[in-house]
Amino acid sequence: MSEAITTQPPSSRVLPHELPAALRDAGLTNWIREPLDDAVDRRRRIIMPPAAATIGTPASAYQGALLAESRHPDTVFMMGDNPALPAMPERPVLKDFFMLRFSPIARTHLLQSARVARENGLDEKVIMACLVHDIAIAGLLSANHGYWGAQIVGPYVDEEVAWAIEKHEALRYFPDESVGYTYPEAYIDYFGPEYTPPEYIRREHEAARRHRWYMTSRLITINDIYSFDPNVVADFDDFEDVVGRNFRQPSEGLGFDGSPVAHMWRTMIWPNNFL
Ligand SMILES: [Fe+2]
Ligand SMILES: [Fe+2]
């Protein structure tokens, strides 16, 4: 071993300034990455919680305090790769989002839905729709997830698949006895037994029922119901063939093809960017 290595100077790491007590007391240290002694970036990095996650919660009162932190020279806002997340490839494909970004619960739910659809012998379009029907919840936003989800995949799938994903959100609330679909037990837990969906969801359901692709969307809701079995293992690779035929993967990578929804994929790659 060379002399140069054994006589390296001690780390020049300087601890960042003390965080304001108010931020600590509010539990906002969750949004702060303290510097590591990794010679890459020894500054503290703050994640500004997105409006959709904080409006209506106590955290929204601390936006100003978090902004003020960026004035310290040892502190910046998170931009680019968050070291807490696995690195994404330069040209990510759908599988990368499943494996490197989606939570295990969301990934399992989507894979099991697609698996049941395949076992039921359904059309590949339905299997594809089931595979990504809750992609918005998995990687972006939960509220209005059917609509977000349809847009996220819109440029890459058949129009019928995107339509079915959009409408499944409304159809979930309404039984269809002709195909044995009843109101989900889980929704009684989630929303309480007295919950009734808002008027716009009722109108969406009525219109969807009269549409020629109604059954494609209804089949998502049917396969959705049985998709929470923790003992069933499903692998993304089991669906490589379906994805290959039904999802137009852009050669530049999802997020970099200049499509009208590329920014949604980039937001899933770098979900913690300040801007
Ligand atoms: Fe859903
Ligand atoms: Fe679902």
Averages of pLDDT over each 10 residues, the chain, 275 residues:
44 72 84 72 88 91 92 92 94 98 93 94 98 97 97 98 98 97 94 97 98 98 76 88 98 98 98 96
Q: Is the dihedral of CA 183, 187, 193, 196 positive or negative?
A: negative
Q: Any bridge partners for residue 46, and if so which?
A: 32, 77
pLDDT of amino acid 8: 45
Q: How far is the CA of 55 from the centre of ligand 2 (A)?
A: 25
C-alpha of residue 227 to centroid of ligand 2, in Å: 8
pLDDT for the residue numbered 226: 60
E-assigned strands of 32-185?
32-33, 44-46, 75-77
pLDDT number for residue 31: 85
pLDDT number for residue 220: 97
Residue 127 CA, ligand 1 centroid: distance in Å: 14
Q: Give pLDDT, residue 35.
A: 81
Ligand whose nearest atom lies closest to the CA of 170: 1
Cα of 41 from ligand 2 centre, angstroms = 39
Q: Which ligand is nearest to the CA of 223?
A: 2
Closest alpha carbon to 243 in 161, 168, 166: 161
Q: Indicate the angle between helix axes 124-132 and 214-225, nearest 10 degrees.
A: 60
74 CA distance to ligand 1 middle (Å): 42
Q: Is 244 helix (H, G, I), strand (E, B) or coil?
A: helix
Distance 184 CA to ligand 1 centre (A): 12
Expressed in angstroms and rounded, the spacing between residue 149 Cα and the centre of ligand 2 is 11
Could you say which ligand is closest to the alpha carbon of residue 172? 1
Cα(253) to centroid(ligand 1), Å = 26
Which bound ligand lies closest to the C-alpha atom of 136? 1
Q: Which-ligand-closest: CA of 147?
A: 1
Burial 113-134, CB ≥16 within 10 A → b, else e: bbbbbbeeebebbbbbbbbbbb
CA–centroid distance, 10 to ligand 2, in Å, is 53
Q: Ligand 2 mean position to 165 CA, how many Å?
A: 10
The whole-number pLDDT of residue 13 equals: 57
How high is the pLDDT of residue 40?
Answer: 61
On whether the CB atoms of residues 50 and 81 are closer than 8 A, the answer is no
**Contact predicate 161/125, CB 8 Å:** yes
Whole-number Å distance, alpha carbon 211 to ligand 2 midpoint, is 21
- Determine the pLDDT at residue 5: 46
Considering every ligand atom, which ligand is closest to the CA of 106?
2
Which of these, 29, 19, 25, lies nearest to 49 by C-alpha position?
Answer: 29
Q: Nearest to residue 169, comparing CAs of 127, 198, 128?
A: 198
